[in-house]
């Protein structure tokens, strides 16, 4: 692969007028100055109050409240201005802000293409960690996790909050029962049969967010391993053409899913919030393709299902059914990492929040919400607040699958990742598969 293609600047050059308009809602910048790392007084008379900004897509608002309440007890002199958006909205806001030098002090980061895009904007972590945590701190984290948060030159620029995997399907077991469906589909033909039974009951079978390039990437990478295990990573490295039969077959299967399995108009529906809220949580659709992070929606009291029309329904999760020649496998990796903006004027305060979320109490809190599998070793999770056994089974299965998966989820190059998502959407919309793959190959 011609890697020089991927060394282009990732930020889009915008006019001053556009920047002024887009940045109007980005929030106040953090106050200048530092706080001591233990949150103690900075002089003999008063405790310095510092304000930092934290933008991300995970934690959710309800999860953040749990984290922030605990953080404030430990660091009452640090105020955090928190902004959360769905991933596509977060990506847009962050890109504009970072291009203008007005990014947050602490930011959520996804490994792979996103990390490569912003690696030069992030504070190196190891020098701070060595001085604050002492030697041997790396042994407390999953080695696989920290490897995924390295910059191109090997510098550690983020730490993981959790691990997740794709491609899975969350389903409403109560609706399945009402339609007389006893088992989840394990093959494409079984999926079609399940869909027929749900449709006969006036239920939309599947709500897929095809508008999202990231989700189309996930679907392709996961499904490609059913046609040629590991081949997608060979293509990423330039060792195999994207026009290979493996990917022709993968695209053919994806076309079948959009035509025969997913809801009509899936290309115009975002995973979050559209497919989730307008279809699945509203009880209109029985199945919702997503990742293992979503099993957190069943955990009381912060789970997203509470307060929705499916609050009292029993739910579960199954892996993407077998469509290719090989058994389904999960693609896994660090779902959400946390990083510090190297241009932050409050790095000491930013470090305390970073440390809290990556290595301290925030890890336990996030693990209890089951947003993903914890990246810090030795953390155990109670499932007492999960009502149904099928939901407990889904959480346990998610943790096991993430731990055992040998295939990574994200591609490393932004342009390639973007082009793959577009290629999937083009094929779903009717573009000839060979043409779409030829265009993808040109980007590689």
User: Which tens digits make up the pLDDT trace of 385-415?
Assistant: 899 999 999 988 888 888 788 899 989 888 9
Q: How far apart are CA 164 and CA 418, in angstroms?
A: 21
Cα distances (Å, whole numbers) of residue 76 to 62, 147, 154, 219? 20, 33, 35, 43
Helix, strand or coil, per DSSP, at residue 121:
helix
How many Cα atoms sit within 13 Å of 398 on the Cβ side? 32
For range 296-321, the mean pLDDT: 93
Eight-state DSSP code of residue 183: S
Q: Which residues are CB-contacts of 194 (< 8 A; sequence separation ≥ 6)? A: 176, 181, 184, 185, 205
Listed range (29-38, 108-117, 235-244, 390-399) with the worst mean pLDDT: 29-38
**Fold observed for domain 48-163+334-399:** D-Maltodextrin-Binding Protein; domain 2 (3.40.190)
For range 251-259, the mean pLDDT: 99
How many Cα atoms sit within 13 Å of 118 on the Cβ side? 31
Concatenating the DSSP letter of every residue in 22-44 gives: HGGGS-PPPPSS---TT---SSS
**Sign, Cα dihedral of 183, 184, 189, 195:** positive
Q: Tokens standing for 307? A: 């307060």
Q: How far apart are CA 316 and CA 117, in angstroms?
A: 35
Cβ 374 vs Cβ 156: under 8 Å: no
Q: Which residues are CB-contacts of 320 (< 8 A; sequence separation ≥ 6)? A: 167, 168, 169, 219, 222, 223, 289, 328
Q: Which residues are CB-contacts of 85 (< 8 A; sequence separation ≥ 6)? A: 55, 57, 93
Q: How far apart are CA 196 and CA 180, in angstroms?
A: 11
**Fold observed for domain 165-332+406-443:** D-Maltodextrin-Binding Protein; domain 2 (3.40.190)
| Residue boundaries of the structural domains of the chain | 48-163+334-399, 165-332+406-443
Q: How far apart are CA 400 and CA 419, in angstroms?
A: 32
349 pLDDT tier (thresholds 50, 70, 90)? very high
Mean pLDDT of the chain: 89
The burial class, CB within 10 Å (0-12 / 13-18 / 19+), for 271 is buried
Element (H, E) at 65: helix 61-74
Give residue 404's pLDDT.
81
Does the fold of domain 165-332+406-443 match that of domain 48-163+334-399? yes
Give residue 109's pLDDT.
97
Do the strands 106-109 and 50-56 form a parallel or antiparallel pair, or are they unpaired? Answer: parallel
Residue with tokens 């043409």: 435
Q: Which of 221, 218, 201 is nearest to 209 (CA)?
A: 218
The burial class, CB within 10 Å (0-12 / 13-18 / 19+), for 11 is middle
Report CA dihedral (194, 197, 203, 204) to the nearest 10 degrees.
Answer: 40
pLDDT in tens, 353-372: 999 999 999 999 988 887 78
For range 420-437, the mean pLDDT: 99
Predicted confidence (pLDDT) at residue 31 exceeds the cutoff of 70: no
pLDDT in tens, 196-214: 999 999 999 999 999 999 9
CA 141 to chain centre: 19
Report the residue count for the chain: 444
Q: How far apart are CA 364 and CA 383, in angstroms?
A: 13
Q: Tokens standing for 407? A: 């295939």
Q: How far apart are CA 340 and CA 123, in angstroms?
A: 5
For range 47-61, the mean pLDDT: 92
pTM of the model: 0.75
379 backbone dihedrals φ, ψ, rounded to 5°: -90, 130
Report CA dihedral (171, 176, 182, 185) to the nearest 10 degrees.
Answer: -40
Cβ 374 vs Cβ 366: under 8 Å: yes
Predicted confidence (pLDDT) at residue 268 exceeds the cutoff of 70: yes
């Amino acid at each position: 692969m011609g890697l020089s293609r991927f060394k282009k600047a990732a930020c889009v050059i915008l006019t001053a007028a556009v920047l002024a308009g887009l940045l109007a809602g980005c929030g106040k910048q953090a106050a200048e100055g530092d706080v001591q790392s233990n949150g103690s007084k900075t002089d003999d008379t008063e405790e310095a109050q510092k304000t930092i900004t934290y933008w991300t897509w995970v934690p959710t608002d309800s999860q953040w409240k749990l984290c922030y309440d605990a953080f404030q007890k430990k660091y009452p002199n640090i105020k955090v201005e928190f902004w959360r958006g769905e991933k596509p909205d977060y990506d847009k806001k962050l890109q504009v802000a970072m291009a203008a030098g007005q990014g947050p002090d602490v930011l959520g980061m996804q490994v792979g293409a996103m990390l490569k895009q912003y690696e030069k904007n992030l504070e190196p972590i190891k020098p701070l960690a060595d001085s604050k945590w002492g030697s041997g701190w790396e042994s407390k984290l999953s080695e696989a996790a920290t490897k995924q948060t390295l910059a191109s030159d090997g510098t550690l620029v983020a730490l993981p909050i959790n691990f997740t995997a794709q491609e899975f399907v969350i389903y409403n077991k109560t609706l399945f029962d009402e339609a007389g469906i006893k088992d989840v589909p394990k093959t494409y033909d079984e999926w079609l049969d399940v869909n027929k039974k749900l449709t006969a009951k006036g239920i939309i079978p599947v709500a897929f967010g095809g508008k999202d390039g990231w989700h189309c990437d996930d679907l392709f990478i996961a499904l490609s391993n059913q046609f040629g295990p590991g081949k997608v990573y060979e293509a990423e490295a330039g060792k195999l053409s994207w026009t290979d039969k493996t990917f022709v077959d993968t695209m053919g299967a994806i076309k079948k899913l959009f035509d025969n399995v997913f809801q009509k108009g899936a290309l115009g529906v975002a995973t979050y919030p559209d497919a989730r809220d307008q279809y699945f949580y509203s009880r209109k659709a029985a199945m919702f393709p997503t990742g293992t992070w979503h099993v957190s929606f069943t955990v009381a009291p912060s789970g997203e299902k509470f307060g929705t029309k499916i609050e009292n329904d029993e739910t579960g999760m199954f892996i993407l059914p077998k469509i290719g020649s090989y058994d389904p496998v999960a693609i896994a990796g660090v779902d959400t990492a946390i990083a510090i903006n190297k241009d932050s004027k409050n790095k000491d305060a930013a470090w305390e929040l970073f440390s809290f979320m990556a290595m301290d109490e925030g890890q336990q809190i996030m693990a209890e919400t089951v947003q993903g599998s914890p990246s810090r070793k030795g953390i155990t999770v109670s499932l007492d607040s999960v009502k149904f056994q099928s939901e407990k089974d889904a959480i346990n299965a998610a943790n096991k699958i993430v731990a055992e998966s040998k295939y990574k989820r994200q591609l490393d190059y932004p342009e390639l990742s973007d082009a793959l998502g577009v290629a999937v959407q083009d094929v779903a919309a009717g573009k000839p598969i060979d043409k779409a793959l030829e265009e993808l190959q040109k980007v590689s």
